[in-house]
Structure 1
């Protein structure tokens, strides 16, 4: 059974979604099904079929989240002694060697990745190039347009 790395924040977000699905969404859809049943003939009852479809989605998502949490290896980067080395969960500031453009990314699990929020998957090409390197090192990232070099400027445990 492969453990999946996840940040504390990522695990908390999944737990919050799971709680909302179980305590809010699931009871609401059960109520909607009960109300739709009262309208009579179920073959032609659009509300009933929509509610049943939503119920299937909710139950599927509950199982998916429970599965992810059961496989999660939650890593609290704040509890790890800070160093200049890039590891899972660190926030890394890198400088594009060609144009001096600076960018900061947090290396997170697959489910947490969101480039708009500067969170990249540990399995992304850029994160794979950065992991294990230290401040001052140059990481080479293979992109569709060729190799790009980034200098690691800062590593934070935040």
Structure 2
């Protein structure tokens, strides 16, 4: 498995999710399976089928998280001596030239990315375009919707 880049907060969130899956969700689904089994004929038991499907999802997610966290590299952008440069983990305020508005993102790894929460993946088109830019730089990149133009207004690093 390739190395997985994470911010400190991202690693903590994934560890918390793993702990919850193991200590809360797994026992809950095991109990649901036992309850469904007690109802008799499993061939026509929708509760049993749903609980087994949920168990498969939980076990798969546990395996995925354990594998990812096992090869994770936690990067602290405050220790990179970047001084205004966009690096992994940076909080970036941009001016969207085409839309005439400001937007803010944090550049994170694929496992942490969530556009609704302002976290963009390092491997996304905008993430790749941002890395290495400095405050005041203008750049364009090819987005799925066409070419986009931005200016880097500020770069900060989360502790």
TM-score by length of 1: 0.89
Match of 2:23 in 1: 23
Match in the other structure for 2:109: 109
Deviation at 1:98, TM superposition (A): 4.7
Q: Which runs of 5 or more residues in structure 2 are unaligned?
A: none
Aligned counterpart, 2:141: 141
- Equivalent pair of 1:82/1:156 in contact (CA under 8 Å): no
Compare 38-47 and 61-70 and name the one that shifted more.
38-47
Deviates most, 99-108 or 15-24: 99-108
1:1-158 correspondence runs (5 A): 1-81=1-81, 83-98=83-98, 100-144=100-144, 146-158=146-158
- Listed as ranges, the gaps of 5+ residues in structure 1 are none
Secondary structure, in 3 states, of the residue corresponding to 1:148?
strand
How far off is 1:2 after superposition? 2.1
Provide the C-alpha distance between the structure 2 equivalents of 1:29 and 1:99, rounded to a whole number of angstroms.
47
Q: CA deviation at 1:144?
A: 4.7
CA RMSD of aligned residues (A): 1.8
TM-score normalised by the chain length of structure 2: 0.88
SS of 1:110's partner is coil
The offset of 1:26, in angstroms, is 0.8
SS of structure 1 residue aligned to 2:19: helix
Distance 1:121 1:59 in 2: 25
Taking the aligned partners of 1:54 and 1:136, their CA distance within structure 2 comes to 49
Deviation at 1:92, TM superposition (A): 0.9
Distance between the aligned counterparts of 2:57 and 2:149, measured in 1? 43
